[in-house]
Structure 1
Amino acid sequence: MSRIPSSPSSFRPLRRRLAAALALIPLALAAPALHAQDSARPLLRIGYQKSASLLALQKAQGSLERRLAALQADVKWVEFPAGPQLLEGLNVGSVDVGFVGEAPPIFAQAAGANFVYIGNDPASPEAEAIVVPKDSAIRTLADLKGRRIALNKGSNVHYLLVRALEKAGLKYGDIQPVFLPPADARAAFEKGAVDAWVIWDPFLAAVEKQTGARLLADGRGLVSNHAFYLAERQFTQKHPQLVRALFEDSVEQGRWLKANLKEAARRIAPVQGLDVDVVERTLQRAEYGVAPVTPGVAAEQQKVADAFLELKLIPKPVRIADALPATPVTTAAR
């Protein structure tokens, strides 16, 4: 047990320490206020993939940073390897807005993720395809029966494969899906460990340019291949001006990109770590111009969800309408 001081003089050191502690209280009370002041500046955290060429351009240009600065706001870029991982980041609060293909939101919604569709880019069916090695004996979609096909599970190309098999009169069970992320799928494709690869740009353009891979079928006549902007539900309600700024910048930079393809490819290439000619081919096949999700686009997305449910790729029905915002985001820059 500690000894209790027994004389007034023995209390002096204690009084001095107590006085010093009391003197620090105003600073301690002020600290939360100072922190709140520092954090009062709004922040837009964007989840992106290197394959998102327009966002890569915006990041390289610094255009969004300048636009948000006028709103006394900042932007933070958070990179993900693919759409499913990005949506997990959105679900756990790592990012506020993300940009993905048509399939990842459906898998995420089936898993209980809380997000809303806030916009989409125009259809780009040529930006995804099924490819085979240049010397492959596979010549038609029907030739895929019994073959090993690489794809990223839950990505936009998952639906392309489903529709392509339907067109060929095949069932999903007639092929052997091999679920691999793009880098691993590319390695397996080159080694001959898989017979075909279902992939999107810029990985598609890269394998065509660098290996001579032959395009068996792209999305034309099969899928729309919309790309979607998604957001954490409360964020859009709290910061609609930041979402509008993102959309307006996307529209403006998308127009500039299409009018300056070669220069845009030169600026994007270092961000994506790809050759300029690969990036240029990617840009030629994509369309840009974000817009609110219309009933027609939502209906197309519902067809994707219903197809995945029928194939038991998702565990329960998904209603796309449940993930649409009450008030669509609008933009002045059209």
Structure 2
Amino acid sequence: MNLKKKMSIVAVTVIATLLLSACGQKPVTKAEDFVLKIGYMGSLCEAPLHMAVEKGFFAEEGLHVDLIKLAPGTAFEAITAGTVDAGFGLLASLMQPLSNGLPIKVTTGLHTGCDKVLVPKDAGIKTLADLKGKRIGVPSMTSSPIIFAKRALADAGVSVTEKNMEVEFIVFSLSDLPIALKNGAVDALAMNDPTAAIAQREFSLNTLVDSAVTEPYSHQYCCSAYVRDNIAQDYPEVAAKYTRAMQKASAWIQKNQDETAKIQVEKKWVAGDAAFNATVLKTYNYIPSVKGAYEAFGITAKQLQQVGMLDNGVDVEALHKNSFVFFNDVQDTVQ
């Protein structure tokens, strides 16, 4: 074998060894250089994320972020695909996906409120029990509004299990829900803000139950911050920074709802009238709490299993424990 051929073989061997070695190594990324991809959809109650950007709480934590606008209903697909690393979500709507393996960890509760069940003022429907035999319009069969409605109805003695369903849920798009109610296609609506508050004002609707003000739901956290499993495990410092920034933003909102609503509209995070949006924000409790989210998860998960929205085979206690991550340098509650 001539020298040239020997050198070629050696070169190929060295390159192959380097490539194999590189493939077997985990990329090294310093926490301070990490860019966290955060998914968002531009809803009113998503204000902590908006204010974390606008008021500099991410920057204060030294966290680099890349915000990715998602289409409604695509957050879980984005998380599973690795398109986003973190997000903001309705706690109740996370439970079934978590039981099916959604790779996230909840890090803190951010606020209470969001969901309502609405009826026409002249419908003769005064209580949740009056909805027996009625049709309820919902944005989807897995959304937070239907989850909240089923919980509230069950608490009021109305059966909502698959074997004994005493109401009928019918899906309409968000924009069509109020029209469906006006035209008599449904007797009530289960919606979340801001569309619920807007429909209530424009169509002069009564509220049967409101998770922001009706007990015991008004004390239960509805929205939370979460990160992908791999971020919590491989970059806990990044996950903690994200959580602290979101907590700081939420606590700031609690004291500045009017300014928050104004910034959201002016910076085009959300549409609508700032003054009206502020009245909605003021019905929520924006005191962030890790413990609050953890307790609300436990209560809600058990109820969801009772009404058939979590499979009977799901170990609710294990799901509860495994769905959270806790950091020593993140406060339980920030005010």
Shorter-chain TM-score bucket reads 0.7 to 0.9
Which letter does structure 2 place at the counterpart of 1:150?
G
Are 2:107 and 2:243, in contact at CA under 8 Å, matched by a contact in 1?
Answer: no
Asked if residue 202 in structure 1 is aligned to residue 190 in structure 2, the reply is no
Change (3 A) 1:61 1:189: farther
Residue 282 of structure 2 aligns to a residue whose secondary structure is helix
Higher alpha-carbon Rg: 1
Using a 3 Å threshold, how does the CA distance of structure 1 residues 178 and 328 change in structure 2: closer, same or farther?
farther
Partners in 1 of 2:205 and 2:296 — Cα distance?
Answer: 30
Is the contact made by 1:149 and 1:177 (CA closer than 8 Å) also made in structure 2? yes
Flag the 1:181–1:116 CA change in 2: closer, same or farther, 3 A.
farther
**1:99·1:230 contact (CA, 8 Å) conserved in 2?**
yes
Q: Of 158, 162, 168, which aligns to 2:146?
A: 158
- Tell me the equivalent position of 2:87: 98
Percentage identity across paired residues of the two chains: 20
Asked if 2 retains the 8 angstrom alpha-carbon contact of 1:104 and 1:155, the reply is yes
User: Structure 1 regions of 5+ residues with no counterpart?
Assistant: 1-24
Residue 221 (structure 1) aligns with: 215
Q: CA deviation at 1:108?
A: 0.6
The equivalent residue for 1:74 is 64
Structure 1 residue ranges, 4+ long, deviating more than 4 angstroms after superposition: 36-40, 326-329
User: What's the secondary structure of 2:82's corresponding residue?
Assistant: coil
Do 2:104 and 2:226's aligned partners in 1 also have CA atoms closer than 8 Å? yes
3-state DSSP class of the match of 1:121? strand
1:243-276 per-position Cα deviation (integer Å, ceiling 9, x unaligned): 3333333333334333333222111123211111
CA distance in 2, matches of 1:307, 1:200: 19
* Alpha-carbon offset, residue 326 of structure 1: 6.2
Aligned ranges for residues 30-41 of structure 1 at < 5 Å? 41=33
Map of 1:58 onto structure 2: 51
Q: Are 1:183 and 2:175 an aligned pair?
A: yes
Separation (CA, whole Å) in 1 of partners of 2:307 and 2:155: 16
TM score, norm. by length of structure 1: 0.76
Q: Helix, strand or coil: the match of 2:74?
A: helix
**Aligned pairs for 1:157-306 within 5 A:** 157-172=145-160, 173-219=165-211, 220-223=214-217, 224-269=220-265, 270-292=268-290, 294=291, 297-306=293-302
Q: Which residue of 2 aligns with 1:47?
A: 39
Unaligned runs of 5+ in 2: 1-14
Change (3 A) 1:195 1:43: same
Q: Give the AA of the match of 2:119.
A: V
Task: Give the direction of change, closer, same or farther, for the CA distance of 1:117–1:188 in structure 2 (3 Å limit).
Answer: same
CA offset at residue 57 of structure 1? 3.2
**What is the distance in 2 between the residues matched to 1:187 and 1:59?**
36
> Cα distance 1:309–1:176, how it changes in 2: closer, same or farther (>3 A)?
same
CA distance, structure 2, for counterparts of residue 190 and residue 64 of structure 1: 43
The secondary structure found in structure 2 opposite 1:182 is coil
Q: In the TM superposition, what is the alpha-carbon distance from 1:171 to its structure 2 partner? A: 0.7
Residues 1:138 and 2:125 are matched in the alignment: yes
1:143 CA displacement? 1.6
Retained in 1: the 8 A contact 2:107–2:225?
Answer: yes
Does the 8 Å CA contact 1:121/1:290 hold for their aligned counterparts?
yes
Deviation at 1:327, TM superposition (A): 4.5
- The residue type paired with residue 97 of structure 2 is A
For the residue of structure 2 that corresponds to 1:265, the secondary structure is helix
Which letter maps to 2:330?
T
Tell me which amino acid in the other structure corresponds to 2:65. Answer: V
Residue 53 of structure 1, CA deviation: 3.6
Aligned residues: 294
Partner SS for 2:101:
coil
Check whether the contact 2:288–2:333 (CA below 8 A) recurs between aligned residues. no
- For residues 71 and 179 of structure 2, the distance between their equivalents in structure 1, rounded to whole angstroms, comes to 16
Structure 1 residue 96: deviation in Å? Answer: 0.9
Counterpart in the other structure of 2:3: none
- Deviation of 1:222 after TM superposition, in Å, equals 4.1
Q: Which has the higher helix share?
A: 1
Quote how far apart the aligned CAs of 1:210 are: 2.3
- Indicate conservation of the 8 Å contact 1:56/1:272, yes or no: no
